[in-house]
A and B are shown apart, each in its own frame.
Chain A
Amino acid sequence: MSLSNKYKKNSFKVPEGYFENVTDRIQKSIAEERESVKNPKFIVMIRPYIAIAAGMMFIAFMFGQVFSYFEKDIGDKLTSDIIYESIVQDDLLIVSDDFLMNALAENVEVTNEDIQNFDEVDNYESNESEVDEMYQDILY
């Protein structure tokens, strides 16, 4: 099975002198390519850094989303008992003075919104004697 060889004749046209110049033109293209590799455009240079920054922002955003989800749960369940336990056990509790006093005195449930509304927050690291002192001021 074979086709006639008459169709093998090359009938595609090429501009005159094309093959005489093609090597020079290709070498010129390569020289330009080499130059663009040596001196990349500014946007090409900073592209990887933009990608890294975008990735870090995404991670930070996702972390914030996860953190706020758990924080909401904890805030809703905060009661004066938990606050007291935290203080006694030397845990860090980020609340303001007024909030802490009110919570301890009134045995109220505190919400996330209460915590977020404080102007100032202090880290509390207390020991037992300090707690007794606080109770003395409130209760006696």
Chain B
Amino acid sequence: MQRYTDTELVEMFNDQNKSELAFRLIVDYYSERLYWHIRKIVLGHDEADDVLQNTFIKAWKGLSNFRNDAKLFTWLYRIATNESITELNKIKKRQQVSLDQDTVLMNVLEDSSYFDGDEAQRIFQKALLTLPEKQRIVFNMKYFDEMKYSEISEILNTSVGALKASYHHAVKKIELVLKEN
């Protein structure tokens, strides 16, 4: 099956007769990759599913105004990141005062219906939860998604220098936690 470029997809979307097909293709191409980016932030599947839906609804609403000066995937990734942060804030508000957001997310890692990694991976994921929110997101994008700093910079609108420093500090903190455990 023919694979369309981002530019072609946006042009198709702006054609009333082809917009539904164009958007379906965009979802096909990018949903899985976006899902995993989201899932690593919010940890729970149901939450990730909600965020993914919201991401694509926002993308659908904004796509007609999308200018091809940025990559389509960069733009989608940015929406997904913002929606994930919004979801994390909702999780914070939903919980009782005695439970903070990190405790809630750590509980997800203990639930075998959501996470089936070994003890080392569980400890590693819990170490990630000790990082500040944005630092954790940078770490995920660099370590798990193996994105270039320039790509991360475009998505998060942060300088490459700041990202490198953030990632460096994140690695140091995680190494410390792993040593202690």
Interfacial residues, chain A to chain B (CB-CB below 8 A) = 1-3, 6-15, 18-19, 22-23, 25-27, 29-30, 33
Contact = CB atoms under 8 A, between A and B. Distances in A.
A8 B60 contact: no
A10 B48 CA distance: 15
B13 to A, nearest CB: 12
Contacts of A9: 117, 121
Contacts of B117: 9, 11
SS class, residues of chain B in contact with chain A: helix
B53 A11 contact: no
Contacts of A22: 27, 31-32, 35, 52
A40 B51 CA distance: 23
Given A22-B27, A33-B57, 19 more contacts: A3-B143, A7-B120, A7-B124, A8-B143, A11-B117, A11-B125, A12-B39, A12-B43, A13-B114, A15-B45, A19-B31, A22-B31, A22-B52, A23-B24, A23-B27, A23-B28, A26-B56, A27-B20, A33-B60
SS class, residues of chain A in contact with chain B: helix
- Per CB-CB distance, the 4 closest pairs between chain A and chain B, nearest first, are A11-B117, A7-B124, A23-B27, A26-B56
A29 B171 contact: no
Given A11-B115, A14-B45, A27 B120 contact: no
A137 B61 CA distance: 80
Interface of B: 20, 23-24, 27-28, 31-32, 35-36, 39-40, 43, 45, 49, 52-53, 56-57, 60-61, 113-118, 120-121, 124-125, 143-144, 168, 171, 174-175
Contacts of A29: 53, 56-57
A26 B28 CA distance: 10
B24 A19 contact: no
A2 B174 CA distance: 11
A6 B24 contact: no
A30 B144 contact: no
